Chains A and B, each alone.
Chain A
Amino acid sequence: MGAEIAALMGFFGITGAFALIGTVLAGWMAWRIVEKAGLPGWAGLGSILLSLTAVGAVVPLILLWVFAYMRWPRDEPAPASPGYAPPPPRGPPPPTGPAILPPPPAALADGRGWKLTGVLGNGGTVALTVYGGPATYALTGALATAPTDLSVPDPSVGQPHARLMTAGQRLGLEDLGSPGGTFIDGARLLPEHGPRDISAARIIRLGSVELSLTRA
């Protein structure tokens, strides 16, 4: 009988140790995750510790849903600082390429541009070519009226919808806040994210139009 009791106590001791380690680990990771979103780390730790209390797992589950759908401080527009110039939210593209996409220090000599190809909602196709060198292009659902306009004639594409920037061997994309949204390989790009390097991206979605990005 004593052996059985000892075995049971050992089992529960190990289980308790695992639970303790799991809780500490989860609290630490939750702290880091909410900090990355711009919230105080103790909020994440607290939500994990709540699972140890009488409220059980329900409140942490609700907090998880709230965290997923709330507005994160990370997404707030960053305050102006000497090292960072926030992009203008809308309007025609500036005449020159932005200084915030400098060429990489060890860029290879590569004169190729980029090609965006896709199928429109009406079944038509679109093929756009962006050449290397510092330049800024406007992706728009309207007809191209300027050499820097890249027309994607689809109702789901804003006018303008997004901005493409080339600098060195890099290609940048900035959402201009159109309702259809802009996605990079499935991830939503918001205007407050500013320009993003899409040189290594494969699929760009403007509204409902998916464009495959390849080197020209």
Chain B
Amino acid sequence: MGDPVSWLLGLSAVLLFSVVIGHILVALLLIIPTWRICQRAGFSGALALFHLVPLIGSFIVMGVLAFSDWPNGEAGQQRPVAGR
């Protein structure tokens, strides 16, 4: 059967790899629409890559979108002529 320590190490590596791949796949589902939202708001789409940061990444993206002025203008405002 082999050394149990090696067996455990192998299992841990497989589990860790699965978690990382799963995290990236889930983040991708969030990054694609968020990339477009950021671009439509006037920010760089790359801001959406914060979703790759575990736990707090989504909060960072949402915080930027929620609490900063959108360069492409916001509803209820006169269309901005001057860039910010």
Task: Indicate if A127 sits at the interface (CB-CB under 8 A).
Answer: no
Stretch binding the partner chain, chosen from A115-123, A135-143, A194-202, A207-215: A194-202
A60 to B57, CA, bound (A): 17
Report chain A residues within 8 Å CB of B36. Answer: 68-69
Report chain B residues within 8 Å CB of A67. Answer: 33, 37
Q: Which residue of B lies closest to A201 (CB)?
A: B83
Task: Indicate if B24 sits at the interface (CB-CB under 8 A).
Answer: no
Report chain A residues within 8 Å CB of B37. Answer: 33, 67-68
Contact B40 A198 (CB under 8 A): no
Report chain A residues within 8 Å CB of B33. Answer: 64-65, 67-69
The 8 A CB mask of A35-69 against B (1 = contact, 0 = none) is 11111000000000000000000000100110111
Q: Chain A: interface secondary structure?
A: mixed
Task: Indicate if A89 sits at the interface (CB-CB under 8 A).
Answer: no
Contact A78 B34 (CB under 8 A): no
Contact A36 B40 (CB under 8 A): no
Task: Indicate if A10 sits at the interface (CB-CB under 8 A).
Answer: no
The 8 A CB mask of A77-114 against B (1 = contact, 0 = none) is 01000011000000000000000110010000000000
Report chain B residues within 8 Å CB of A72. Answer: 40, 75
Residues of A near any B CB (own CB < 8 A): 22, 25-26, 28-30, 32-33, 35-39, 61, 64-65, 67-69, 72-74, 78, 83-84, 100-101, 104, 170, 172, 186-188, 193-201
Residues of B near any A CB (own CB < 8 A): 29-30, 32-34, 36-37, 39-45, 58-59, 62-63, 65-67, 70-76, 78-83
Known: A38-B76, A101-B81. 4 other contacts (CB 8 A): A32-B66, A68-B36, A100-B81, A186-B39
